[in-house]
Amino acid sequence: MGMLALAVALVAAACSSGNSGSDLESVAQGCQVDQVDGDLSLYNWSEYIDPDLVQEFRDTYGVDVVETFYESNEAMLAQIEAGGATYDLVVPSDYMVDIMRQEGLLVKLNKDAIPNMANLDPKFTGLPFDPDGEYSAPYQWGTTGIGFSYDVVDDAADLTWGLIFDPEMSAPLTGRISLLDDEREVFAAALKYLGYSVNTTDQAQLDEATALLKAAKDRVATFTSDSFEDLLVSGEVDLAHGWNGDFFAAFDEADAWEDYGYGIPKEGGVAWVDNMAIPTTAEAVCTAHTFINFILDAENGAQLSEWNYYASPNAKANELIDPEILSDPAVYPTPETFEKLEFLADLGDFATNYADAFTEVKS
């Protein structure tokens, strides 16, 4: 951004600070491109953004970025609903965007302040959880599957959820398995193994999945959503349930590509889209818009994917991403694999049944 634009932004920041929650909607609609109105409080998944990008945003716009992390969509939602903390930007997954917008917890975006929305691949617009893209902008997308040591799995093509849930198959891995600390993801794995939809609202199917998970618990070392990849590459577990990009980043950092792999089990799994959204706890609403626009820049989007190894919903960014990443089916699944994937949907009141079941599993 040029010095004149920066000066204008900083003046706007001085004039716009201290907005109350009651006028967030009007504040948002008044935001201009590259405007900042205070430091950014970013509530995000851990290890999900290149620190260099965060620093570039600080340097470019003259504001600080305070990062706080969560392990699950449900944990993030609880914090927003509690209202005790102030967050300007959150990164909820698809179904959680739906829940939050229906609960009135998100601020409607001013798209005029986010011109880089035009860079999005059309496949990531008009999504069912936010049909008109009024409350969210796609950040990254990916899959949930299994990271593994080649000592226990020779080929990703042989992967099955049975390595976790089949007693005979998983017995040699007792105490060497980790599962995500995320109710929807854990039940998705069990439900896929049983041949059911990850979005089932059939209580009998959920009960069957609960029994399966309880039976597998004795073979599971831990439930974790923020260190599963580290446990794998450190040799503490041989099989980890988790998100593809986190595994790839860990393999790269440890130079362990020859020792570890990632794949989607043959039964299928979860595909997800994480999104940037502004909660009603926000104070720096315009800074949040500017950060969304910053991430949706083509070069920044490419840098983000090359750092966290997740697929980009940004068509312009994909033109700049390393072809090796674009051609890797573990990052960009083949059409055949994609057909076996499901997006997590908002289950309405039935979501409580999953929460209760997960508590039962872990108790």
For the cut 50, the answer to whether the pLDDT of residue 172 exceeds it is yes
User: What is the predicted pLDDT for the residue at 210?
Assistant: 98
Over residues 214-256, the pLDDT tens digits come to 999 999 999 999 899 999 999 999 999 999 999 999 999 999 9
Helix, strand and coil content of the chain, in percent to the nearest 5, comes to 50, 15, 35
Q: Are 320 and 280 in contact (CB under 8 A)?
A: no
> What's the rounded mean pLDDT across residues 298-321?
97
For the cut 50, the answer to whether the pLDDT of residue 91 exceeds it is yes
Domain boundaries, the chain: 3-136+277-296, 142-272+330-362
Residue 258 CB neighbour total at 10 angstroms: 8
Residue 321 CB neighbour total at 10 angstroms: 21
Evaluate whether 3-136+277-296 and 142-272+330-362 have a shared fold: yes
Over residues 245-274, the pLDDT tens digits come to 999 999 999 999 999 999 999 999 999 999
User: What is the predicted pLDDT for the residue at 22?
Assistant: 53
Under the banding of pLDDT at 50, 70 and 90, the label for residue 149 is very high
Under the banding of pLDDT at 50, 70 and 90, the label for residue 8 is very low
CATH number (3.40.50.2020, 3.40.190.10, 3.40.1670.10, 3.60.20.10) of 3-136+277-296 reads: 3.40.190.10
User: What is the predicted pLDDT for the residue at 16?
Assistant: 39
Over residues 30-44, the pLDDT tens digits come to 999 999 999 999 999
Under the banding of pLDDT at 50, 70 and 90, the label for residue 1 is very low
The span from the CA of 174 to the CA of 177, in Å, is 7
> What's the rounded mean pLDDT across residues 146-151?
97
- Under 8 Å CB-to-CB from 260, ≥6 apart: which residues? 147, 148, 149, 150, 232, 233, 247, 251
Q: What average pLDDT does the structure give for the chain?
A: 92
* Domain 142-272+330-362 indexed as CATH 3.30.70.260: no
Q: Which residue type occupies 292?
A: I
Q: Are 269 and 341 in contact (CB under 8 A)?
A: yes
User: What is the predicted pLDDT for the residue at 17?
Assistant: 40
- Under 8 Å CB-to-CB from 276, ≥6 apart: which residues? 89, 90, 91, 136, 137, 138, 139, 291, 292, 295
Q: Give pTM, 2 decimals.
A: 0.83
Under the banding of pLDDT at 50, 70 and 90, the label for residue 14 is very low
* Token pair belonging to 76: 């993030």
Over residues 175-195, the pLDDT tens digits come to 999 999 999 999 999 999 999
